[in-house]
Structure formats: structure tokens, C-alpha cells
Amino acid sequence: GLSTAGGAPAGSFGATSAGSNNAILPVAAGAIAIGALAAASHGGGSAPIITPPPSPSPTVAPTATPAPAYGPVVLTPSFVALTVGQSKTVTASQSGNTTNTFTVGAPVVCPGTGNGTVVQTAPGTFQVTSTATSSGRTCTVQVNGLGGQFTTLGMTL
């Protein structure tokens, strides 16, 4: 792709005549001669083997996984009225909670002597039982979902 049309500049190395490409030959021949001299002086007459350094493997930046958006915890029913010893099933649901993971907060809170128990019998299903009553006391228990979401179950025992 090199052209010396119009001639090599005056005083350039190897320039012979205008329009000639002969100016390239002495430079190429000199480069070959230097390469041969370097190979011969290396000992044994063979050219040194140059191995390039290993190229680093590309580092893949970890992508942040956004936290799932959890909706509010919904209890069905959210309020139960029980007589002594009576049980009722309450179900919990929450959008984004694909594992149906819920827990009951510490204990059922009742004023006076009314009390009850809440036991998780299956994922998202709770059994509420009245164990004592005192003139229709209203008790509460917190049901926790995922993502810090919770709701309160109300009970009249």
C-alpha cells in the first residue's frame, strides 16, 4: 500500500530515482539482516521463543437482584369470635410471597383473663383456639409476612 509516486524526498535513505520503489528494499534487507544477526547471537542459532503474557479473563460485574416487592399481609377472616374451646381456621396471603411463609408474632395479647392460642398448621394457615374467656375480651396477635409486612388478627374470646 506504500507508494513513492513522484519520487522519494531528496536525501532520503535508499532513494534512487523518481517514481521508483527501490527505496524500500535497502530498509527491508537491513531489517532481515538485523533479525538474522540477533538470532545467531542467541546461541544455538535458533530464534528465541517469546510467549505473550496470558490475557486476563474478563471480569463480569455481578448484577444486583432487586428485592421483591411484597404486598400487605391479608388474613381471612381478620377477626374471629370464639367461645371457650372453639377453634377457627384463618388463612394468610401476601402478593410476592411465593413460598407462603408467615409467622405468628409473640403471644396472643388479651386484656384481663381472656386468652387463646394461634398455631400455624400449614404454610399460610393458622388454627385459632379460645382457651379461656372473660365476658367477650378482645385479643390480638400479629401475623408476619415477608419484607417486614405484617397484620393483626383480632379475636373476641
6-55 pLDDT, tens digit per residue, is 655 555 555 455 555 554 545 555 555 555 545 555 555 566 788 777 77
Query: Mean pLDDT lowest for which of 85-99, 100-114, 134-148?
Result: 100-114
Q: Give dist(CA 154, CA 109) in Å, integer.
A: 10
More confident residue, 127 or 48: 127
How far is Cα 132 from Cα 85, in angstroms, rounded to an integer?
Answer: 7
Q: Report yes or no: 130 and 139 within 8 Å, Cβ to Cβ.
A: no
For the whole model, what pTM was predicted? 0.56
Choose between 25 and 134: higher pLDDT. 134
Residue at 1: amino acid letter: G
pLDDT at 150: 95
Q: What average pLDDT does range 87-100 have in this prediction?
A: 96
Query: Three-state SS for 40?
Result: helix
pLDDT at 42: 53
- Cell numbers representing residue 92 in the block: 394468610
